[in-house]
Amino acid sequence: MQLPTLVSNLPTPCLLLDINKLEANIKHLSEHIGALGGSLRPHVKTHKSIDVMRKVIEGGNTEGITVSTLKEADYFFENGVTDILYAVSISPDKLSHVQHLMMAGCDLKIILDNIDVAKLVASYGERNGICFKVLIELDTDNHRSGVDPEGDELIEIAAIIDGSKGTSMLGVMTHAGESYHCNTPESLLEISHLERDRSVLAADRLKDVKLPCPVVSIGSTPTALSIDDLKGITEVRAGVYTFFDLVMAGVGVCQHKDIALSVLASVIGFQHAKGWIITDGGWMALSRDRGTSGQTIDYGYGLVSTIDGHAVNNLIVRQANQEHGILSNLTTVNSVRPATLNIGSHVQVLPNHACSTASQYSKYYVVDGDHVIAEWDRINGW
């Protein structure tokens, strides 16, 4: 298919990626981390695209990548990226896949957070003559998985990893997911300090008992953008900062005008009595993610915006069926239909959660203003 040159010629629904916003977002975090003397191991789970990754690398201050699936590891390795951290606790059935990638030349690191898994990984490595590089996951904010940085298990797991020929102890890592619940600069700074300090504490405890811990890896978009001193930290992981989304705007680390990802949808009908505008952008196009529902402003399934990120009559996607989006005003149920919206008009919808929305698509239409300048493929699945 020949690339349509104007956004108005694109088939809807489709996924738009604003090149200027993408580049500005990449530059912003790269400069922030660079100014603190740190380096980024960007998370590719949001974009899952080698073209976006090339832009991130061009942005500077990066070393290696972080992946959330081994399919991402396969794809980025095939596309020339060798330094990869697989940042979901390893399940033992995936070790042969990890081994395969390592033997093909991929410098793949894995994470784990329990004694039984450490023993299984070590014995798999010993039996198969391979040495897995392992980071121990820390729970620094009571959010998800990981060991207590102050607990005995940390030392016990590190001793197993360090004591086996099948594993080598690379360090500790954490992800302060509780930062997604912050919405003030003070709380963001506080959680970024917590993430850093509890990670450095864990690393110091390991070093005190002569266990190696060369890598201290932290990160989430809110904490990466808020941290003011990286002492003791060797790398910062962040992903959604490349695109941003309404949740990140609600957290306070970006503005609507910074959101690089949007869904283009067409108006297909009206329910005048109810003040509804119907589009072809339902939840299949936007995802079912309702990430802003717990925030101060709930944008339903997304906020209708102009290309410069301005709201259009405060319209949100209030309801979503599989292929139908129902737009109405954010504050009044009976909204007045904007004069500019007719059957066939296009609307751009800013997503709640960029990772979920992007995962509904296999490609990005890369846009510069009204012009489509490229199509970039992305991967999905496991």
Ligand X SMILES: Cc1ncc(COP(=O)(O)O)c(C=O)c1O
Residues that bind ligand X (CB under 6 A): 43, 46, 66, 87, 175, 219-221, 237-241
Cα angle: 277, vertex 278, 283; to 5 degrees: 125
Rounded distance between C-alpha atoms, residue 288 and residue 346, angstroms: 21
Pairing of strands 371-377, 363-368: antiparallel
**What minimum distance in Å lies between the beta carbon of 146 and ligand X?**
9
- Closest CB to ligand X among 66 and 140? 66
Asked if 295 and 327 touch (Cβ cutoff 8 Å), the reply is: no
Name which of 108 and 326 has its Cβ closer to ligand X. Answer: 108
From the CB of 68, what's the least distance to ligand X, in Å? 6
Q: 67: helix, coil or strand?
A: strand
The first and second tokens of residue 165, run together, are 């020929």
Tally helices (H) and strands (E) across the chain.
Answer: 11, 16
User: CB-wise, 236 or 285, nearer to ligand X?
Assistant: 236
Pairing mode of beta strands 83-86, 65-67: parallel
User: Whole-angstrom Cα distance, residue 280 to residue 129?
Assistant: 54
CB of 313 to ligand X, least distance (A): 31
197-214: b or e for each residue (b if 16 or more CB lie within 10 Å)? Answer: ebbbbbbebbeeeebebe
Cβ 144 to ligand X shortest distance, Å = 8
Sheet (strand 132-138) strand order: 65-67, 83-86, 107-112, 132-138, 167-174, 215-218, 235-236
Q: Helix (H, G, I), strand (E, B), or coil: what is residue 157?
A: helix
The residue with tokens 């069926």 is: 321
DSSP string, 7-34: GGGS-SSEEEEEHHHHHHHHHHHHHHHH
State the pairing for strand pair 83-86/303-305: unpaired
> Which one, 191 or 367, has the nearer CB to ligand X?
191
Q: 72 or 280: whose CB is closer to ligand X?
A: 72
What is the 8-class DSSP label of residue 377?
E
Task: Report the residue number, 142 or 322, with the smaller CB distance to ligand X.
Answer: 142
CB of 268 to ligand X, least distance (A): 33
The token duo for 153 is: 């298990």
Nearer Cβ to ligand X (221/329): 221
Provide the minimum distance between the beta carbon of 221 and ligand X in the complex, in angstroms, as a whole number.
Answer: 3
Indicate the residue among 174 and 348 with the shorter CB distance to ligand X. Answer: 174
Output the smallest distance, CB 110 to ligand X, in A.
12
Instruction: State the minimum distance, in angstroms, from the CB of residue 46 to ligand X.
Output: 6
